[in-house]
Amino acid sequence: MTELRLTLRVDVDGHPALGHGKIRLLERLAETGSISAAGRAMGMSYRRAWLLIDALNDQFTAPLVATRPGGGGGAHLTETGQAVVRCYRTAEQDAAAGAKGALDELASMVRRPQKA
């Protein structure tokens, strides 16, 4: 049977705010302690990773990521950042559990992608 996976995107007032890519970036940052290492782990430039993190920090009432000034200073998730990741992953698991029946039915009707 074909495996389907449900992904979750959170919109705020009709604008995309949070999805699996940004959450993965936050998780990589928590693992590495570095914006540049987190970006590299996801195949993106430091600038792209920094812009995404800056946007996330602006979207919430408290910053999700704190940085230490200076070259190579490092970064870490704040308590709010940890809570956002935890809430997102919980919502994702709850949504997948609720959609299991429909996803199983869809899987029985979907063609597997052809390998090149």
Place of tokens 């602006």: 58
Instruction: For the chain, give the mean pLDDT.
Output: 92
* pLDDT on residue 72: 64
| Amino acid identity for residue 104 in this structure | D
Residue range 44-61: mean pLDDT, rounded: 95
Please give the pLDDT value at position 115.
77
Per-residue pLDDT band for 71 (boundaries 50, 70, 90) equals: low
Q: Is the pLDDT of residue 1 over 80?
A: no
